[in-house]
Structure 1
Amino acid sequence: MNAEPVWITESQVTALLTLAEAIPALESGLRLQAEGKAESMPKTMLQFGRNNLHALGARLGDHVGTKTWAHTEGGTCPLLLLWNADDGQLAAVIEAFALGNLRTGGTTGLATDWLARKDAGVLAMAGTGKQAMSQVAAVLAVRDIREVRVYSPTAARREEFAARIADEFGGRALRARACGSMAAACDGADVVTLATRAREPFLDAGMLRAGSHVNAIGAIAPDREEFHQDVFDRAAVVAVDDLSSARALSREFRTRYGDDWSAVQTLSERILRQERRPADADTTLFKAMGMGISDLALGTEILRRARQQGVGRSMPAPVKSKPRFFAAPPAPRAG
């Protein structure tokens, strides 16, 4: 008999799983996908004004699930729903803002681990928004970074974020400084992470040092773009998390590849083949769009830990009710 469904809150998610623990869980999920033992459904998105409604999902192990959220200028409230794959019954509802940060940051950490040089020591971080700190933490989790250069077009925001990095990771021998241009941030950087809502590209190939790795995770809608097309020209490896989403939603990739996507690999394929960064690579490029496998890899691990530790609020399983087809007729008048 399946356990009662549980509701898992944001604070419980963060207590159950760290970013460093999310990275191997993501790697396991991607390997299962490459082996044909897990699959994602295509990501869907509806734009309304400057806002977006998103939905994605996957099958992984004993569960299937979907995550949905509205990303609006006023905020967002994502939820991940898990069902038992054998009988379709609800297993969990997981508040998924922190989970999304763990997934997005963890995916960058995983890609950096596979594609960046082992001796990478300098990170250029473009963007200071809600995802930025987890992006920094993810690279720190897989490389011995000694310096983070922060770029934002707004001086106050880049200065404030550099100070936050110093506070957040004060126990490390880590320097964080704000840079007045993307070129300055990239000067000598081994890893470059783009996590912005830019509508026009701001990174070009001439800014990148030989041997660098680029994570592009911000432009996940057709109205956004973070890097110029010449970045592709220098990339010895071009990899994505989800090919179908990149084909449908990435303006950078659609402009470059049109109808021939044979030069684009998935990170899961490289993991399955144990292909890390080529020794002679000039640069490598990873594009993350977000995909259901990644959310389920973390969601199922969080649920497993919650069951083990007795965490989560039990919910009554939904009970079917016969629908009413018409309003009840009025009762006849007495007499």
Structure 2
Amino acid sequence: MTNTDPVWITEAQVTSLLTLAEAIPALSTGLSLQAQGLAASMPKTMLQFGHNNLHALGARLGNYVGTKTWAHTEGGTCPLLLLWNADDGQLAAIIEAFALGNLRTGGTTGVATDWLARPDARVLAMAGTGKQALSQVAAVLAVRNIDEVRVYSPTPASREAFAARIQEAFPECGLRATAVGSMAAACDGADVVTVATRASAPFVDAAMLARGAHLNAIGAIAPDREEFCQDVFDRADVVAVDDLSSTQRLSREFRTRYGEDWQGVQTLSQRIHDGARRPADADLTLFKAMGMGLSDLALGVEILQRARDQGAGRAIAAPVKSKPRFFATPLAQRA
């Protein structure tokens, strides 16, 4: 296998090649390049069918362009990231993207928390116990010295089980993870609040949030979802998003607030480029993640480079053009 052969990179190879802690600087670099005009995201597209969604997003970064697509269904999902060489359009890699999606979503929260949470943050409130939740906790642990995590889910068994899972997953951190019976209890005095749920109605209001807190809003990425109340905006000194276009089209929370005037919303990439960290006197900071192709591509390019350096990945045949057939039976032979 040469460095020009297209490769298939499996889930196991993705997780062996890149950790969440390593994903955070790769994502930061991609966002900085975006602000400089050296990288760009394709607008996210989504088709809803019943309670399911078909997603597609993409980006360009350096010598690569790529798209990630998946169907999020009640029966499961199978995301794939495809990378092409930007100069000749030839296939570079197909990357199985379950773990990559977790690294991207969690890592983006890590980047936002690093830039917008107080440096002395110690307490994390985590709402949601689904498949993204553990990487969300890990991302905050990667950038802040958290010693207490409070877990809220409306289902007691789920929050108890997830609190125990946190304790087991990060024994070296000396964490105290506890399940709490309400979102208000989780947020009481919390420095960082992350919500990653499929809620259809808001369950976090401004009164729950301590002064000096940072809120990561991760879960409501479709117009039928909502996680926080409109009064949260009233207290936010910084309102940042990963992708403005997707937020404008798909976030019910933000569309309700901003309508046609979006001047109060910044991109995380621009804040990184400007070196604009959390204002010292900020009451509240808010980050909304919708998911964007640039983040997937930043990690895909990093994974591909590591795979080539280490000889990982399975070489696959480059696609070869074939002329289409127009008819099963030649016209001259038809009766």
Residue 328 of structure 1: CA displacement?
2.7
Aligned residue number for residue 210 of structure 2: 209
Aligned residue number for residue 122 of structure 1: 123
Residues 279-312 of structure 1, C-alpha deviations (whole Å, 9 max, x = no match): 0000000000000110000000000000000000
1:171 is the counterpart of 2:172:
yes
1:152 is the counterpart of 2:153:
yes
Aligned residue number for residue 230 of structure 1: 231
Specify every segment of 5 or more residues in structure 2 that has no aligned partner in the other structure, as ranges: none
Which amino acid is 2:158 matched to?
R
Are the counterparts in 1 of residues 67 and 81 from structure 2 also a CA contact under 8 Å?
yes
Query: What is the rounded CA distance, in whole Å, between the counterparts of 1:47 and 1:245 in structure 2?
Result: 15
Query: What is the rounded CA distance, in whole Å, between the counterparts of 2:189 and 2:36 in structure 1?
Result: 38
Query: What is the rounded CA distance, in whole Å, between the counterparts of 1:97 and 1:299 in structure 2?
Result: 12
Residue 330 of structure 1: CA displacement?
10
Residue 215 of structure 1: CA displacement?
0.1
Residue 172 of structure 1: CA displacement?
1.4
Residue 173 of structure 1: CA displacement?
1.3
Query: What is the rounded CA distance, in whole Å, between the counterparts of 2:106 and 2:159 in structure 1?
Result: 19
Which amino acid is 1:117 matched to?
R
Query: What is the rounded CA distance, in whole Å, between the counterparts of 2:187 and 2:115 in structure 1?
Result: 20
User: Which of structure 1's runs of 4+ aligned residues deviate more than 6 A?
Assistant: none
| Residues 331/78 of structure 1: CA separation in 2 closer, same or farther (3 Å cut) | same
Query: What is the rounded CA distance, in whole Å, between the counterparts of 1:200 and 1:331 in structure 2?
Result: 64
Query: What is the rounded CA distance, in whole Å, between the counterparts of 1:2 and 1:168 in structure 2?
Result: 36
Aligned residue number for residue 198 of structure 1: 199
Percent sequence identity is 80
1:313 is the counterpart of 2:330:
no
Q: Give SS of 2:302's match.
A: helix
Query: What is the rounded CA distance, in whole Å, between the counterparts of 1:27 and 1:172 in structure 2?
Result: 24
Aligned length: 332
Residue 331 of structure 1: CA displacement?
11
Residue 20 of structure 1: CA displacement?
0.2
Superposed CA RMSD: 1.2
Which amino acid is 1:274 matched to?
G
Q: TM-score, normalising length from structure 1? A: 0.98
Specify every segment of 5 or more residues in structure 1 that has no aligned partner in the other structure, as ranges: none
1:242 is the counterpart of 2:243:
yes
Query: What is the rounded CA distance, in whole Å, between the counterparts of 2:133 and 2:78 in structure 1?
Result: 18
Residues 309-334 of structure 1, C-alpha deviations (whole Å, 9 max, x = no match): 000000000000000011134998xx
Q: TM-score, normalising length from structure 2? A: 0.98
Query: What is the rounded CA distance, in whole Å, between the counterparts of 1:22 and 1:83 in structure 2?
Result: 21
Query: What is the rounded CA distance, in whole Å, between the counterparts of 2:299 and 2:172 in structure 1?
Result: 27
